[in-house]
């Protein structure tokens, strides 16, 4: 499938950065369908699950719109891209503002940056949220990384990060005094902690790859 024929469902649960994601999809030639209705999203051939906000609030918003089960099915049946909070929600649980159960699509949890790890080598204390440009270190050869330079800079804004229980799902990492999970991949599901729609040329290339991706993935270590 080419980007020009891609019909992309963008999940609207009242919290995502929908405009920037939809604009990027349209810029690349895809058709963006932004909706909070499972029936409308089900008519698309691929799904983007964006996110900005708190884990618990997101889960309540998904449940209120009856989107939780749709996302669970879509993430197993068509090309699926999670962005930022949309990546975190795929995990089993989070400790952001209390204990919360996630969508359970990938084994793992969402945890805060540890205080003891936020001391830079020069003595500065690093700020939370982790915000700004940082390198994305690819660990696997994935179709969405095609043409994306190794160690390319992507834009991050987050205070919590994903800790996968299954190392095989780890697709990329970044560093904020210590390496943390920045992308996961499994079958037709791919998710990033950073924002490709705000990450310039590298981010647009990754999104373009997603628009043409058939959902196939066999894990291979990146060189």
pLDDT digits (tens, 9 = 90+) for 53-82: 888 899 999 999 999 999 999 999 999 999
pTM attached to this predicted model: 0.92
pLDDT at 140 over 90: yes
Q: Give domain status of residue 194, yes or no.
A: yes
Q: Give domain status of residue 204, yes or no.
A: yes
Positions marked active-site: 84, 195, 197
Which of helix, strand or coil describes residue 177?
coil
Alpha-carbon distance of 183 to 192, in angstroms, equals 4
pLDDT at 126 over 80: no
Q: Give domain status of residue 218, yes or no.
A: no
Q: Give domain status of residue 155, yes or no.
A: yes
Confidence label for 172 from pLDDT (cuts 50, 70 and 90): very high
**What does the pLDDT read at residue 222?**
63
Mean pLDDT for the stretch of residues 164-181: 93
* pLDDT tens digits, 99-122: 999 999 999 999 998 877 677 777
The whole domain housing 145 covers 3-212
Q: What is the largest CA-CA distance in the chain?
A: 53
**What does the pLDDT read at residue 201?**
97
The encoded tokens of residue 163 equal 């800790």
Domain of 203: which CATH number? 3.40.50.880
pLDDT at 41 over 90: yes
Q: Give domain status of residue 223, yes or no.
A: no
Which of helix, strand or coil describes residue 87?
helix
Specify whether the CB–CB gap between 217 and 187 falls below 8 A.
yes
What is the number of domains present in the chain? 1
Q: Give domain status of residue 20, yes or no.
A: yes
* Residue recorded with tokens 């900005």: 52
Q: Give domain status of residue 84, yes or no.
A: yes
Q: Give domain status of residue 40, yes or no.
A: yes
Rounded to 5, what percent of the chain is helix, strand, coil? 30, 30, 40
**What does the pLDDT read at residue 195?**
95
Specify whether the CB–CB gap between 186 and 171 falls below 8 A.
no
DSSP strands (E only) in 66-140? 80-83, 93-94, 100-101, 108-112, 130-138
**What does the pLDDT read at residue 4?**
60
* Average pLDDT of the residues of the chain: 91
């Amino acid at each position: 499938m080419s980007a020009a024929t891609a019909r992309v469902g963008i999940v609207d649960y009242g919290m995502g950065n929908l405009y920037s994601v939809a604009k990027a999809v349209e810029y690349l030639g895809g058709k963006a369908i932004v909706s909070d209705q499972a029936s409308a999203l089900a008519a698309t051939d691929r799904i983007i699950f964006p996110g900005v906000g708190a884990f618990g609030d997101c889960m309540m918003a998904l449940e209120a719109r009856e989107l939780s089960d749709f996302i669970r099915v879509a993430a197993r049946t068509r090309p699926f891209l999670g962005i930022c909070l949309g990546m975190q929600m795929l995990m089993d649980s989070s400790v952001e503002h209390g204990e919360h159960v996630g969508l359970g699509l990938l084994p793992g949890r969402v945890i805060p940056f540890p205080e003891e790890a936020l001391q830079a080598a020069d003595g500065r204390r690093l700020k939370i949220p982790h915000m700004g440009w940082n390198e994305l270190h690819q660990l696997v050869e994935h179709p969405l990384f095609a043409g994306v330079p190794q160690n390319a800079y992507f834009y991050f804004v987050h205070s919590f990060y994903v800790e996968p229980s299954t190392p095989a799902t780890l697709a990329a990492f970044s560093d904020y005094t210590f390496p943390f999970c920045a992308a996961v991949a499994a079958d037709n599901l791919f998710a990033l902690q950073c924002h490709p729609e705000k990450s310039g040329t590298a981010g647009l290339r990754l999104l373009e790859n997603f628009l043409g991706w058939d959902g196939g993935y066999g894990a291979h270590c990146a060189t």
